[in-house]
Amino acid sequence: MESSFTIARIRGIPIGVHYTWAFAVLLITWSLAAGYFPASYPGWSRPMYFLVGATAAVLLFVSVLLHELCHSVVAQARGLKVHSITLFIFGGVSNIAQESEDPQDEFLIAVVGPVSSLALAGMFWLAGLALPNDLSPTSALLTYLAMVNLMLAIFNILPGFPLDGGRVLRAILWGVTGSVVRGTTIASVVGQVVAFLFIGYGFLQILQIFDGGFLNGLWIAFIGWFLNSAAESTRRQVQMQEGFKGVKVGAVMTPDPPFVGPALTVRELVDEYILRRGLRAMPVALDGRIVGLVSLTDVQKLPEAEWSGNSVGAIMTKEPLRSVGPDTPVTKALEMLVELDVNQVLVVDTDGSLLGILSRGDVMRFLQLRSELHMRR
């Protein structure tokens, strides 16, 4: 996730914090210190309310992190690579490199999240019972954490894809139908229904038809919008992957791309190749050997006033360059593009000779043309 920074590594997994996380912590702290704790536990000092509120907000996200860690650990145990875990305004997300290839893996990875939250709720509740004073700040903190983890477990088990419950539903449908596309389609539609219910309930609170207030209603509606967007995006992604089933890179790539030399100025590159020929990426060769790859993205990083004074060799992506073979499945190449966060890779033959370039644009253009031709395969 962009605009996040790494704060730790657990089991080799980078733990990141998105800038929106700070807004969530401040909002939760203020809400607890000004509303929930004074109403439920009167008599504390004002600084104590804010201290307990801030502690509760931070421990809430620690609980979310543990929830996501459980997803990631099970994913690693099932042979899937986990890139990172990021905490943000809506909670947390595990960035798993690829989708599960088996419904059983999908089920186990998804269901462990709500189970972990339920276990945390039980632990905090039992710890609270061990305290003699049920009105103390510590007791109040434990009671809140038990309650909020129980709510997280209930919320995440809702069949609203891509919530954990929606993924559990997809795994079950996938196993029953034998089709990940059909399972995803049904689960995402159910998820969108749940999302629209959230949006509708949120607007009813905004209009004060139901108790909750403007801010609470706005927050619920925003969560619904987020769930709807995520469900739609996931369905399109899975359908796109299914559309490329059996398609090799050689059928999609741009073949025989022109070479440019490292001494070419950026201005000449823009005028002759990008603007005149419409090329977005070109291999860079010196004495018949590929030494780099230059793209529109590389040019965009340089101010126009400096184009004439800089060469292609100064801005190109240098070796080692990522490449795929012409017989590589397009779905695997797409995973590489996403994992490396690049727009194109070189396509090379077994002897190392360049055959073409595969870009995200090539992939989308191929899919669009095949859709316009109403081709199923």
Distance CA 288, CA 295 (A): 19
Single-letter amino acid code for the residue at 358: L
Selecting among 2, 68, 268, 306, the annotated active-site residue is 68
Q: Which residues are CB-contacts of 276 (< 8 A; sequence separation ≥ 6)?
A: none
Q: Quick one: tokens of 128?
A: 């609270």
Q: Which residues are CB-contacts of 347 (< 8 A; sequence separation ≥ 6)?
A: 249, 250, 253, 323, 324, 325, 326, 354, 355, 356, 357, 358
Cβ atoms of residues 163 and 152 within 8 Å: no
Q: Which residues are CB-contacts of 63 (< 8 A; sequence separation ≥ 6)?
A: 117, 120, 145, 148, 149, 152
Distance CA 146, CA 44 (A): 21
Please state the separation of Cα 166 from the chain's center in Å.
16
Q: Quick one: tokens of 341?
A: 């966060």
Annotate 69-97 with DSSP letters as a single string. Answer: HHHHHHHHHTT--EEEEEEETTEEEEEES
Q: Is 68 a catalytic residue?
A: yes
Q: Quick one: tokens of 163?
A: 């919530």
State whether residue 16 is helix, strand or coil: strand
Distance CA 63, CA 70 (A): 11
Distance CA 313, CA 185 (A): 47
Catalytic residues, which ones?
A: 68
